[in-house]
Every structure is written in C-alpha cells, then in structure tokens.
Amino acid sequence: MPQNNYIYESVKLFVPTANSQSMHIVHISAECYPIAKAGGLGDVVGSLPRFQNEMGNRSVVIMPMYRTPYLYTHEWDVVHKSSANLGHWFFEYTIIKESTSAQGFELYLIDINGLLDRERVYGYEDDTERFCAFQISAVHWMNSWEHLPGVVHVHDHHAGLVPFMMQHCYAFKRLASVPSVLTIHNAQYQGQFSWDKSIYVPQWDSWKRGMLEWEGSINPLASAVKCAWKVTTVSTTYLHELCSMSNGLEPLFEYEKGKCIGILNGIDYSVWDPEHDRYLDHRYAPSSLEKGKAENKALLCSQFGLNPSKPLMVFIGRLVGEKGADLLPQVIRDSFEFVGRRMSFLVLGSGESSIEHELRSLNEISMGDYASYIGYNERLSHLMYAGADYLLMPSRVEPCGLNQLYAMRYGTIPIVRKTGGLYDTVIDLGECHGYGFSFLHAAVGDVTQAIYRAVEFYHEKAFFNAIRQKITGLDYSWDRSAAEYIHLYKSF
C-alpha cells in the first residue's frame, strides 16, 4: 500500500455547482504541470484551465496519481472511492482532490494502487493497461455525478478512448449526450494495442467496432478523432500537415477535417516571464533586457565552461528524430568546420540513447565551445532561455512548440525549421516584419546555413538588440486561445 499523505477520513460527495452562465469543463490528461510533466502537453494542461476559470468558467483537471514530489508536498481530500474492471481484472480506484486548488483549478488525481502510482509518467511495459484503467476510472466516476459536465476535453491518446466509452459503453450511457473535444498535441503517438486486449474497453456495442479500430488495431487516437464532437490541434499549419503527415492517420484526418480546427497554444506568463521567474538568480524586465541577458549568459557560460563573448546557441528538448535532435552532432561539427569557432553550443535534453551518446562524445571536440546536459532539468531550462542568444529547433514535426515562444519572451532569437507551429509563430528576418531565422528542410546543410546567418547577425549589434527587444513584446498569452476554446464548446 503506498504511503500517501492524503486523508481517508472524509469521503465527500462531489457535486458540481450548476451555473447557466459558466461552463463546467473537465480536462482529462496524462500530464499537468507542475504535478507531472514530460513535455509541452503538461504545460498546456497546467495553464489552460486556469485561464478558462478566470473567464468565469469551472474548468477542472483529472489526471493519474503518479508518485511525483507534488503529491507529497500538497494536501489532499478523498472525494470518491469505487471499483471497476479492466477486462477480467477487478481494481479499486480512489479520487483525491487537491485541498486548496493551488494551481487555479480543481485538480483530481486518480489513484490505482500498483498501476498508476509510479515515478515516471510513461515508459512502462504496461502503459496500455495503466492508461486504460485511468480512463475507465475517469469515465466511471463522471458517470456517477449528479450534474454532468458541460464538456469533456481529452488530450492526446492517453485519454483517447474516453469519447468512445462515453458514447458506446453500456455502463456509461448517461454520458452519451455530453459533448467531447479532443486536442491533439502530437499525432505521432497513438497508443495502439491489439484486439486481444479489446476486453479492456468496458462492454460496448459491438456494431461500433469501427470506431475503435485503425489498420487492424485498437487505436485510441484514431478512435477519439472519430468519436469526439470536435477535434482541435495546437496550430493551424499542423492541422493542415495532419492530412499529409500523421503517422498513418492521414486519410482519417482528410475525412474528418470538417470537425477539426487549429488553436495555437498560449504560454503561461506567471511561469514564463523573466521579470518574475522563480528559477532565475538574475531576473530582468524588457527595460533591462541587455543587462539581464548578459548576467544570465555569464552564469550559464561559467557553469558549462563556455566563452560568453561568442553567440550562444542552445537546444532544449526531447532527443528524438521528431525534434531533429539526431542532426545536432553533425550540425555542431559542420558549424565549427565551415562557419568557424565563432559560436558556442549548449544542449539540454534526454531521449534516444544513440543521440545521447553522440552528444556526450562531442565533448572531445568541445574546446570550450560545446557542452551538454543529458537529462531533464526544469531550472536549467529557464536559465538557458534567459542566457542564450539563439534557440535551435530543427524539428521534423512540431505541432505547436512552446520552446520558441518561451525563448522569445526571454529575448532569445529562435532558429527554426518551417513546420507546424514554428511556421505559424516565427517569421524569418528576411521577410517583412521578421524576427527570427527559419529554414525549409530538416537537413544538416539547412541548419548550418541558418546558424551562419545568425552568427553574422549577432555582430550587427544595434539590429540584434532591436530584434531581441521586439520579440520579448510579442503576445502569445493564453487569453486569446482560451477564449477560442470556450467559443468552440459553446458551439455544441
């Protein structure tokens, strides 16, 4: 039995307050910052509900209870206990609610002993079982509410079976009339599993088999695209790309495009603002941008043995092909060879072991111009956004990308591939009103060429400083996007 610090004394009944003016929105997600985050999904689910609440709605989050530090440093009330089945396996689940709603929204964690209470979010052999049981519990619990929610908003494949369950599982018929929205943060991962495990989905109308299936497997993401009332993704360009580049789902997106829309992510300025950033020793406002960036750069360079007089290019992210991280070692070698030792590189990330290995071996040619931190480090990422001159994002796929938005807020100029949300948020300096560097292909030559342009630009000090100043003022706040989601919900 895990030793959690929540109290079993009061099993309160959850009764949502019905208010005709506001909407009751339930987000279901595998990640939510700062409780548990593996990438941008966590950032989005950790902030969007708060903005929806500030607009007068009641937006809550349901997620798995992992064993992350947040669990042990906050107080919890038990609001519901029940049991359900995952195929032939009977399990008990407990819903705990954060006592103070410290994140600006009601936060509910589902505790399933031995299944969800692990240290990492993903990467276990039984992830299919874990996320199926999570979704069953969430739907099972909602089905017992006296007042049903106004909309159930699911994120990515980990919650992708929820719309199907709400509509086609006999036990959850009460939820069949509740609108559901799917947001796709990343269509590369779809959570497929074989039909042998179809008993994991609580008894369902067998005529609806096609609503679960894609190419011979049960495909939670495809199922959600078919069953959700509306489908959103996190940028307009990525929405178009899904029809030609979505890891096998292209015909489905082509067919369903009538109900799909793109809503660009916002960023949470209460977390990502150099003036108030709790991770920074040297905070800075737009009026002290140059000084603030120089202080952070000096600190960063001293930590990693880099020369602060050279332009500093950083990469922050998952070390996977999707992010173009495999290109980095050769890009760095070629930059040193063809552009010269006129810049430094700092890489923060973790992911595929071959890329991690190659990045570590580059230390041999570092000579004070290259360093890496292989791992996940939230604090360091903030210092890097603050201290760098340029952020590199050679992504092959980038549904939205938050890094470039954070970087710009901190006065760090993005160097990006023209794809997905990067295309929508970064205009090349060569174009009218441009403020970044962009290139077409995820190829070493294209990236190196962009680096060359950026190095040259670094020495045009007045222009360089003006662009830095300009990007800190670009508005990517949540207000606009949060309103777009509400508008969408109200269309049902």
Nearer to ligand ADP, 178 or 355 (CB): 355
Segment 16 to 55, residues that bind ligand ADP, using CB under 6 A: 39-41, 43
The least CB distance from residue 382 to ligand ADP, in Å, is: 8
The least CB distance from residue 287 to ligand GLC, in Å, is: 30
Kindly state whether residue 57 participates in binding ligand ADP, applying the rule CB under 6 A.
no
Nearer to ligand GLC, 63 or 301 (CB): 63
Candidate segments 16-24, 165-173, 304-312, 371-379, binder of ligand ADP by CB under 6 A? 371-379
Query: Residue 32 has which token pair?
Result: 């939510």
Nearer to ligand ADP, 136 or 271 (CB): 271
Site for ligand GLC, rule CB under 6 A: 39-41, 44, 185-186, 234, 265, 398-402, 421
Segment 390 to 449, residues that bind ligand ADP, using CB under 6 A: 400-403
Question: What is the rounded distance in angstroms from the CA atom of residue 217 to the CA atom of residue 194?
Answer: 5
Q: Which of ligand GLC, ligand ADP, none sits in contact with 112, Cβ below 5 to 8 A by type?
A: none
Q: Which of ligand GLC, ligand ADP, none sits in contact with 65, Cβ below 5 to 8 A by type?
A: none
- Of 284, 9, 21, 27, nearest to 151 by C-alpha is 27
Q: Residue 208: is it exposed, middle or buried by C-beta count within 10 angstroms (0-12/13-18/19+)?
A: middle
In 47-118, beta strands by DSSP E: 58-64, 76-86, 89-98, 106-111
For residue 319, what is the enclosing H or E element?
strand 312-319
Total Cβ atoms within 10 A of residue 162: 31
Nearer to ligand GLC, 59 or 344 (CB): 59
Q: Which of ligand ADP, ligand GLC, none sits in contact with 318, Cβ below 5 to 8 A by type?
A: ligand ADP
Q: Which of ligand GLC, ligand ADP, none sits in contact with 317, Cβ below 5 to 8 A by type?
A: ligand ADP
Give just the sign of the alpha carbon dihedral 406, 412, 418, 424: positive
The least CB distance from residue 325 to ligand GLC, in Å, is: 13
Residue 78, φ and ψ in degrees, nearest 5: -85, 125
* Strand duo 370-374 + 58-64: pairing: unpaired
The least CB distance from residue 293 to ligand GLC, in Å, is: 24
Segment 304 to 363, residues that bind ligand ADP, using CB under 6 A: 316-318, 348-350
- Of 51, 46, 41, 25, nearest to 179 by C-alpha is 25
Site map 373..392 versus ligand ADP, x via CB under 6 A: ---xxx--x-----------
Nearer to ligand ADP, 30 or 169 (CB): 30
Per-residue DSSP letters for 114-161? TTT-SSSSS--TTHHHHHHHHHHHHHHHHHT-SSPPSEEEEETGGGTT
Question: What is the rounded distance in angstroms from the CA atom of residue 363 to the CA atom of residue 37?
Answer: 29
Question: What is the rounded distance in angstroms from the CA atom of residue 475 to the CA atom of residue 460?
Answer: 25
Which residue sits closest to ligand GLC, CB atoms considered? 40
Q: Which of ligand ADP, ligand GLC, none sits in contact with 234, Cβ below 5 to 8 A by type?
A: ligand GLC
Nearer to ligand GLC, 36 or 212 (CB): 36
Question: What is the rounded distance in angstroms from the CA atom of residue 28 to the CA atom of residue 154?
Answer: 5
- Of 243, 214, 219, 225, nearest to 180 by C-alpha is 225
Query: Residue 117 has which token pair?
Result: 């209470």
Nearer to ligand GLC, 223 or 232 (CB): 232
Applying CB under 6 A, the residues found at the interface with ligand ADP are 39-41, 43, 316-318, 348-350, 376-378, 381, 400-403
